[in-house]
Amino acid sequence: MSKDQIDEWYTFGLHLAKESGKMMLDAFHKEKTINTKQTFADLVTETDKAIEKFIFDNIRQKYKDHVCIGEESEERPPWNNSPTWIVDPIDGTTNFIHQFPNCAVSIGVSYDKKIVIGIIYNPMQNLLYTAKKGQGAFCNQKKIFSSKVTDIGKALIFTEVGSLRKENIIDKKLENYARLARASHGIRSMGSAALNLCAIASGQGDGGFEFGIHIWDIAAGVLIVTEAGGVIMDPKGGDLDLLSRKFLAAGTKELADTISSKITPIQFESD
């Protein structure tokens, strides 16, 4: 894949992210039409759907052979080697509904099943995180770097409870939470896997993990973390399968390994 080709997709992706940001901002303080999905806490608004439609209509018009995988699409094609746009129109929908401004549009582009572009835009706080494979990671065009913390006793860690309301899953998540809370400076749950990854990429936090997420929550963020010098892996070690509904991220491999040793995996059905 040539650098020029990636640059062209990136410019287009940036345009789509900024236009999506305008749609999000416009709706942020207004009353929203809310529907539930799997549970009463798994939410979607008309704005999620409108943004995803806007993004995919534009991509399909411009690149007829590209594949689109999105959170709000009724039909999702399998992830393959074609150029693929992996989109979460609003990551942090619950925050969006509650007017808590930690939510963002997340656009990842893969080729040969490798993420080559990551764009995450939070228009409420005017934070634009970007990465192109091999070219570093940026926040509002300023280069960002993950933290150098190796000692869990000095780490701030991100994880989430998620929107599934099954007792045994929540119990397991809280057990992991407690184990890490005892060992670290603190745990933060801000409601968006995409923005948690951006926080780790920019050194605002040192590590994070989540079970139950989907490929659209993390596609853009995993590239932003690795381009910022951080580590992405399976929570039990080894390469991360983006369809496996989990991730572990950290500024350093040492911290990633320590977090991994302290968490018990929670099994979700693959995407």
Does 192 engage in binding with ligand LIP (CB under 6 A)? yes
Q: How far is the CB of 197 from ligand LIP (least distance, A)?
A: 9
Does 52 engage in binding with ligand LIP (CB under 6 A)? no
Choice from 111, 210, 226, 230 touching ligand LIP (CB under 6 A) = 210
Name every residue whose Cβ is closer than 8 Å to that of residue 201 and which is 6 or more positions away in sequence.
Answer: 129, 137, 144, 146, 221, 224, 225, 227, 228, 230
Choice from 58, 73, 163, 244 touching ligand LIP (CB under 6 A) = 163
Both structure tokens of 133: 């494979």
Q: How far is the CB of 152 from ligand LIP (least distance, A)?
A: 21
Choice from 9, 12, 13, 71 touching ligand LIP (CB under 6 A) = 71
Rounded-to-integer distance, Cα 45 and Cα 144, Å: 32
Q: How far is the CB of 191 from ligand LIP (least distance, A)?
A: 6
Choice from 24, 55, 213, 250 touching ligand LIP (CB under 6 A) = 213
Rounded-to-integer distance, Cα 38 and Cα 197, Å: 24
241 is catalytic: no
90 is catalytic: yes
Choice from 209, 217, 233, 245 touching ligand LIP (CB under 6 A) = 217
Place of tokens 């994880």: 159
Asked whether the beta carbons of 100 and 124 are under 8 A apart, the reply is no
Does 93 engage in binding with ligand LIP (CB under 6 A)? yes
Q: How far is the CB of 187 from ligand LIP (least distance, A)?
A: 13
65 is catalytic: no
Q: How far is the CB of 104 from ligand LIP (least distance, A)?
A: 9
The Cα-based distances of 248 to 52, 71, 218 in angstroms read 27, 21, 11
Does 72 engage in binding with ligand LIP (CB under 6 A)? no
217 is catalytic: yes
DSSP secondary structure string for all residues of 139-167: ETTEE--------GGG-EEE----S---H
The Cα-based distances of 1 to 5, 81, 219 in angstroms read 7, 12, 18
The Cα-based distances of 8 to 13, 64, 132, 203 in angstroms read 9, 15, 11, 29
Closer of 6 and 68 to ligand LIP (Cβ): 68
Rounded-to-integer distance, Cα 127 and Cα 261, Å: 33
| List of residues contacting ligand LIP (CB under 6 A) | 71, 88, 91-93, 160, 162-163, 192-194, 210, 213, 217
Residues labelled catalytic:
71, 88, 90-91, 93, 217
